Amino acid sequence: MSMDEVHAELIRFEAELQRFNDSLKQGVWALEREHDRVDGIWRDDFRKQYDARWKAFGDHAKRYTSNEAQRYSAFIRSKIQRVAQYLHG
Question: Would you say the pTM of this structure is higher than 0.95?
Answer: no
Give the pLDDT band of residue 16 (cuts 50, 70, 90): very high
Average pLDDT over residues 79-85: 97
Q: Is the pLDDT of residue 85 over 90?
A: yes
Provide the pLDDT for residue 42: 86
Q: Is the pLDDT of residue 27 over 90?
A: yes
Give the pLDDT band of residue 40 (cuts 50, 70, 90): confident
- Say which CATH class 3-88 falls into: mainly alpha
Kindly provide the b/e burial profile for residues 7-33, where b requires at least 16 CB atoms within 10 angstroms of the residue's own CB. Answer: beebeeebeebeeebeeebeebeeeee
d(CA 41, CA 46): 13
> Which distant-in-sequence residues (6+ apart) come within 8 Å of 15 by Cβ?
none
